[in-house]
Structure 1
């Protein structure tokens, strides 16, 4: 079920971003944004996707609880008696209201209101809010809103722009807006992480499946930021670089995919206790052999590990150089994956547990 719920989460993130980006762009004057393809059908479909893909955790729980009474009865009981089921009912309700508003070309203010309520519902019924109700609710809602706005607008301009006569004016407001969203994402992401992982246990958590996905996610942020910097700050000629914008969106999708898989693992509130119940991360054992309790991570520098970290920095540098030398934006995606892979391997080779 991990693959089913993780892939559903990835599709949910994309659907949310598409809807939020389209609604946000309705508030931008035509003179300050590209000419976008008319995508009302796709927009309504993305809202329907929010309702459909957010059902995955409910289905997972119903299958777990099903004890011979029939799946549909168990599913109904889950909707009524469990927090995750209540959250899905609320999500479907607001999705219907938002979908109807968009289909009948309702006011942009009303659409934004329903989209905002959907994001608040995501925050309130999130995993982190079960750990700390109000702190988790606020931090997750802010995190998800910044992601949806930045990622959604990026998705539209990268994949659905027909003409870009106003590109310079678009960059005037979107570049600072995007970097503000990134700053909010990083700050709120740290807050959310600290609800699950004590800062002193960050390296220790790498022994666990959750910690491995968390490390990969954090590493994936660096090439994403490099692509965002190239598109926003290094574009001195202020040209529409479609391939590089699409590359940035794909690197963002990679980060979201790693986040989705991470969220399906047991968080290490206590690393050693989680290790005893969950065991070591399979990828870590494949690289370093069996791991044993108790976990006490430390760093031991190795030549191979250092070389891999150097390779990772070269990949990151080549991303920036590739933009300046007008190389294909798609090459930057490969370099981004190369950075993540080599940095991860280098850190593992320089870490003992």
Structure 2
């Protein structure tokens, strides 16, 4: 079940992005976007898929209490008394109405209404809302909605557009929209992060799998920004050359975004540092570097100092070189190479930062 939850969360991000992207594009005139052929059955699958994938963490909690009180009683209790269970009930109702609205081809405004309610329900059942209810719901809902608008439109236009017409007009409005979404994503992301974990504990948080997965997520956002800048530049090129097709670069950005989704999905299954239950420190050996690099649980309190070494500086320098190669790829290489360089940047920068850390067990 622990392996299934990240897959379900990943699917949830993807389904909702496709749904939100398709609804947003309905508000855009045909002259401001390329011709898009997004199959209606896929939209219906996404609407039902949201119900299924959001039930997986609920089922995991039910199975946790199954041996104690029995499945039926555990299911009733979890669904009716916990935020994650109640949130799933709301999601199910709203998703069914959304499915009917799409199936019957009703108003785009009604579709937008149901999808916003689904995202609010997801914010309600989020971990951050259990820490600070009002701030948590608002920040998580806004964060998720901005991600879904930006990434959803990007995914659909990249993979389901069937013409090169109106690319200049599309990029003309999508580029500023993406900038606004990214600003909101960063702002709400900081609120979410600092609600769960104090800013002063960010570095020490790397001693836990949660902290390191959060670091990987933050690192993976850097090449996304680079791709977004490149794709913004493509607006000018598409304006100059009417037959220029920027879809391959948009697809490359989508691939890196899938990595961000994966790290976020895994992050949702891990316990924040303040929830770590440490055993008696006197009976536990200090972690090895293999434990550290493989992100295994460290069973003793750890304090971390940032002390770069020659190896870590070399790795960070190589990571910056990979970032530069992404930019060079725009002029001289295929976006496939740029995607590969983006993945290499994430890995080498992560290793460089890990090798820059000095661990001090707190006894």
Number of residue-to-residue matches in the alignment = 350
2:7 corresponds to which residue? 7
**1:12–1:283 CA distance, 2 compared to 1 (3 A):** farther
| Alignment TM-score, normalising by the size of structure 2 | 0.91
2:218 corresponds to which residue? 218
Q: Are 1:303 and 2:310 an aligned pair?
A: yes
SS at match of 1:28: coil
1:246 corresponds to which residue? 251
**1:180–1:219 CA distance, 2 compared to 1 (3 A):** same
2:337 corresponds to which residue? 331
Query: Per-residue displacement from partner, 1:269-309 (whole Å, max 9, x unpaired)?
Result: 37xx5555999799652479996844221122211110100
8 A Cα contact 1:300 1:351, kept in partner: yes
**1:30–1:337 CA distance, 2 compared to 1 (3 A):** same
**1:173–1:275 CA distance, 2 compared to 1 (3 A):** farther
Q: Are 1:312 and 2:319 an aligned pair?
A: yes
Alignment partners' CA distance in 2, 1:289 and 1:72:
35
**1:211–1:112 CA distance, 2 compared to 1 (3 A):** same
8 A Cα contact 2:234 2:246, kept in partner: no
Q: Are 1:347 and 2:353 an aligned pair?
A: yes
Alignment partners' CA distance in 2, 1:197 and 1:96:
35
- Equivalent residue runs for 1:1-353 within 5 Å: 1-67=1-67, 70-238=70-238, 239-269=244-274, 284-286=291-293, 293-325=300-332, 327-353=333-359
8 A Cα contact 1:209 1:281, kept in partner: no
Alignment partners' CA distance in 1, 2:152 and 2:43:
12
Moved more, 35-44 or 308-317: 35-44
Alignment partners' CA distance in 2, 1:122 and 1:281:
38
8 A Cα contact 2:315 2:348, kept in partner: yes
Moved more, 28-37 or 296-305: 296-305
8 A Cα contact 1:266 1:274, kept in partner: no
8 A Cα contact 2:38 2:156, kept in partner: no
8 A Cα contact 2:209 2:295, kept in partner: no
**1:263–1:289 CA distance, 2 compared to 1 (3 A):** closer
**1:323–1:283 CA distance, 2 compared to 1 (3 A):** farther
CA RMSD of superposed structures (Å): 2.3
Alignment partners' CA distance in 2, 1:243 and 1:44:
27
Offset of residue 164 of structure 1: 2.4
| Alignment TM-score, normalising by the size of structure 1 | 0.93
**1:349–1:206 CA distance, 2 compared to 1 (3 A):** same
Alignment partners' CA distance in 1, 2:83 and 2:113:
23
Query: Per-residue displacement from partner, 1:245-290 (whole Å, max 9, x unpaired)?
Result: 11111111100110111111111237xx555599979965247999
**1:99–1:16 CA distance, 2 compared to 1 (3 A):** same
Offset of residue 190 of structure 1: 0.8
Unaligned runs of 5+ in 2: 239-243
8 A Cα contact 1:268 1:274, kept in partner: no
Alignment partners' CA distance in 2, 1:288 and 1:66:
30
8 A Cα contact 1:220 1:340, kept in partner: yes
Query: Per-residue displacement from partner, 1:212-235 (whole Å, max 9, x unpaired)?
Result: 101111000001111111111255
Moved more, 33-42 or 131-140: 33-42
Alignment partners' CA distance in 2, 1:281 and 1:258:
24
Offset of residue 329 of structure 1: 1.3
